[in-house]
Structure 1
Amino acid sequence: MTFEPLKGIRILDLTSVVVGPVCTARLAQYGAEIIKLESPDGDLMRGLGGLSPTGQHSGAYLHLNRGKRNLCCDLKKPGSKDLVKKLVASADVVIANMRPQALVRLRLDAQSIRADHPDKIYCLITGYGTDGPYAGHPTYDSVVQAATGMTGLTLARDGAPSYVPMLICDHVVGEIAAGSILAAVIQRKATGSGSSIEVPMFETMSAFVLQEHLAQQSFDPPVGPPGDLRLLSPHNKPVKTADGWIAFTVNTDQQVRAFLKAVGRAELIDDQRFATVGARAQNVREWFEIRGAPLTDKTTVEWLDILQEADIAVKPCHTLETLPHDPHLQAVGLLQADEHPTEGKTVAIRSTISFDDAYPALPSFAQPRGWDTRAVLEEIGYSAHEISGLLAEGTAIASSTRAEDQ
């Protein structure tokens, strides 16, 4: 299926690693033309995201950079200024996640670009808002997890802070940035005006934490301590079975009664401490101790059958090894075979969003550095002679693995 509501929108992608590429990958799925401007050193994620057959494209890089055209340019070279100026002029949207100070030096900040092109949409994804004292501080996902109190949640629950072992802040903020750009595109179509957007990771993820865990301190005066005590219970974890682990949640009174009957604790159904949502909130520690008790008298499969029969939300706890083989994911074809020009056979992840009962076509492979350098330079007005000069002086770099670039 072809689903391209952003067809005709060109985006200059000045991002790297994860948060920016997540944003532009989503926009590529919606049909935008993404021009990824990459330095000669390459996006750090090419190597940081794990091993690969050639050492040039980690698995994470392949997944985060599908559907993008790659132009390699050395911004330290004098000739790059004119090149980037023409790229900016050709784009509808510019997205960056460099430090604000570096963007100002390169005249690639929102103020510089929109002074010349007020109709441009400019999105800066930054670690900390530029109007606060942390502005310009370096950061990564794990630092944001700590600064926003996410690690403090595991400290409160488990007695020690820990990171979510995936780049959760990068993914969430990248998707939010993509949504903000979509809103700006709609506004520009209505008014003709561009926008300057800033999406700070620290404030964005802090808001998520506080929406849930400001809790009783959302009132003036507070009616209790901060924190959702259900989520902070040390028993709020997957439950051990005879041969593995399962995860389930029971929230409604009907679900609780069905659960207590299923696990052989029917005597607690009439216990007033657990009879209603309000009562369980008042007795959350005792309730979660019951709810989180091991279920080691039966296997995972047996418990899945029992709890599903009781209409309780339950699933097995997958591992990285078992998740790709989940029968549901296999049935819906989330993972698909693909071919990469340098890495050979690869596994691709299709869009999880369907439109009109169909999934958009798989975007093209993540390109080697400089794969589309020649073509993009030609499109923005450089002659063949000028392109040869830019390549010779090292301002632009073309892929050494593409036949027409050799």
Structure 2
Amino acid sequence: MFELLKGVTVLDLSTVVFGPFASQMLADFGADVIKVESPDGDIFRAAAPARSRGMGAGYLNLNRNKRSISLDLKTEAGRATLDRMIADADVFLHNMRPAAIARLDLGHERLATLNPRLVYCAAVGFGSDGPYADDPAYDDVIQSMTGFASMSIDPTAEPRLIPTVLTDKIAGLYAVAGILGALMSRERTGQGLAVEAAMFESLASFMLAEHLSGYVFEPPIGTLRYDRVVSPHRKPYPTADGHIAALPYSTKHWEKFLRLIGRDDLANADWVRDASRRSERIGELYAVLGQATPERTTAEWLTEFKRLDIPCGPVNRLEDLIDDPHLRAVGFFQSTAHPTEGAVTTVRQPLRFAGAATRADRAAPRLGIDGRAVLHEYGMDDAAIDALVASGAMILPAETPGTDDQSE
């Protein structure tokens, strides 16, 4: 991990992917992220596959560099303990619905009285001032509501979800940007801010960045589509032995490619050389590309396209990424020895900072494993901590229902 955010404490009450994806980035940047979990733990701990209960693969890959404390916030003692932590925290992150936050009395207005410098981030499904504010939100729902599921070059095709948890990760990036912006503002003003990162609005913004298209103008002068990316001819192209991704984009790219395949007539055409006119007929050029690629093998095309500096790449499967020579060369995959799970592989933080101080990564924690150490830092002695445990307000690993002794 880096030390860019060294000294920043984040209380992370989020679960599954959205919030943990965001808080892991903050942890990778060096923040002390304390994962505050219920006695049952983050539900994503249960996602298969796993070697042991509560330590699923997805959880392990989204929660490195964090510490875990398990508090029952339905108890007065649990909430009082969290309040004690909030008073000294820099960031409070949650992904609970408004009704749940209200029941726990963890809204921004009250927490700001405990700590005026607190950056409060609500990672929610829908913006709080809209009619959907209290609705539950998951990736499948938001992909469908924002048009992702219905986007197809075939208007008769059935709606289909993109096979990745797209919404959570995109909204998580927005949450990180919001938190970092609020921390910068606090440096100038001394006051914390409330940040709201909503899944629906985040993915709608992401989707419409290019697809707002003709509706940018009032009245609209076109459709809600960016023509280049909805062309039925835009796709991985068949080769003599497989497929290839290729994207001639600039005028030079198209001229080089068209001359390569003996289509000087198109290479010399005025409409091809004019970027605006070419964009109106881009589907015709994609069709020409698709007709030409079956004449050579994938390797032959990769060689030719790279020689001409035309963007291209193989059509990989997920399995191909594991042995991809570039990802291996840049150290993208991290193999570590987890204290309880044995050898594990995770993907590193993709950002790099030249000259930034670093320290060793911390393995994703067992449920509640850091509870005693964390509360010691907040001035609580063993007797007070033991009293919390005895009351049921705090869970330590050996006392976690349904799990083995997971202490280190």
Matches within 5 A, 1:173-192: 173-192=171-190
Contact 2:239 2:293 in 1 (8 A): yes
- Between the aligned partners of 1:193 and 1:338, the Cα distance in structure 2 is 40
Structure 1 counterpart of 2:16: 17
- Between the aligned partners of 2:260 and 2:356, the Cα distance in structure 1 is 39
RMSD (CA atoms)? 1.9
| Aligned CA distance change for structure 1 residues 249 and 362 (closer, same or farther; 3 Å) | farther
Matches within 5 A, 1:1-400: 3-48=2-47, 50-154=48-152, 159-293=157-291, 295-356=293-354, 360-400=358-398
SS of match in other structure, 1:292: helix
**Letter paired with 1:89:** A
SS of match in other structure, 2:87: helix
| Aligned CA distance change for structure 1 residues 362 and 211 (closer, same or farther; 3 Å) | same
Contact 1:29 1:360 in 2 (8 A): no
| 1:249 shift after superposition | 1.1
Contact 1:69 1:372 in 2 (8 A): yes
Contact 2:242 2:297 in 1 (8 A): yes
Over the matched positions of the two proteins, sequence identity in percent amounts to 38
**Letter paired with 1:47:** A
**Letter paired with 2:83:** K
- Between the aligned partners of 2:34 and 2:166, the Cα distance in structure 1 is 25
**Letter paired with 1:248:** A
| 1:359 shift after superposition | 8.8
- Between the aligned partners of 1:386 and 1:294, the Cα distance in structure 2 is 74
**Letter paired with 1:15:** S
Structure 1 counterpart of 2:401: none
- Between the aligned partners of 2:352 and 2:296, the Cα distance in structure 1 is 38
Greater Cα offset, 248-257 or 375-384: 375-384
Contact 1:216 1:226 in 2 (8 A): yes
- Give the unaligned 5+ runs of structure 2: 399-404
Q: Deviations over 1:260-295 (max 9, x none)?
A: 233443442123443322222222332332233462
| 1:164 shift after superposition | 1.6
- Between the aligned partners of 1:194 and 1:328, the Cα distance in structure 2 is 41
- Between the aligned partners of 2:156 and 2:25, the Cα distance in structure 1 is 35
- Between the aligned partners of 1:281 and 1:173, the Cα distance in structure 2 is 31
Contact 1:28 1:363 in 2 (8 A): no
- Give the unaligned 5+ runs of structure 1: none
Contact 2:3 2:29 in 1 (8 A): yes
| 1:158 shift after superposition | 7.3
- Between the aligned partners of 1:263 and 1:58, the Cα distance in structure 2 is 51
- Between the aligned partners of 2:191 and 2:120, the Cα distance in structure 1 is 12
Contact 1:120 1:195 in 2 (8 A): yes
- Between the aligned partners of 1:142 and 1:262, the Cα distance in structure 2 is 44
- Between the aligned partners of 1:243 and 1:331, the Cα distance in structure 2 is 27
Contact 2:21 2:172 in 1 (8 A): yes
Greater Cα offset, 69-78 or 318-327: 69-78
Contact 2:234 2:283 in 1 (8 A): no
| Aligned CA distance change for structure 1 residues 45 and 371 (closer, same or farther; 3 Å) | same
- Between the aligned partners of 1:264 and 1:55, the Cα distance in structure 2 is 62
Contact 1:351 1:359 in 2 (8 A): no
| Aligned CA distance change for structure 1 residues 90 and 402 (closer, same or farther; 3 Å) | farther
Q: Deviations over 1:79-132 (max 9, x none)?
A: 212111112113111011111110011011112211332221101011100000
- Between the aligned partners of 1:123 and 1:103, the Cα distance in structure 2 is 12
Aligned residues: 402
TM-score, normalised by the number of residues in structure 1: 0.94
- Between the aligned partners of 2:156 and 2:24, the Cα distance in structure 1 is 36
| 1:335 shift after superposition | 0.7
Contact 1:338 1:347 in 2 (8 A): yes
SS of match in other structure, 1:352: coil
Q: Deviations over 1:173-222 (max 9, x none)?
A: 11111111111111112211110111111112212222211111211222
TM-score, normalised by the number of residues in structure 2: 0.93
| 1:136 shift after superposition | 1.2
Contact 2:88 2:115 in 1 (8 A): no
**Letter paired with 2:221:** V
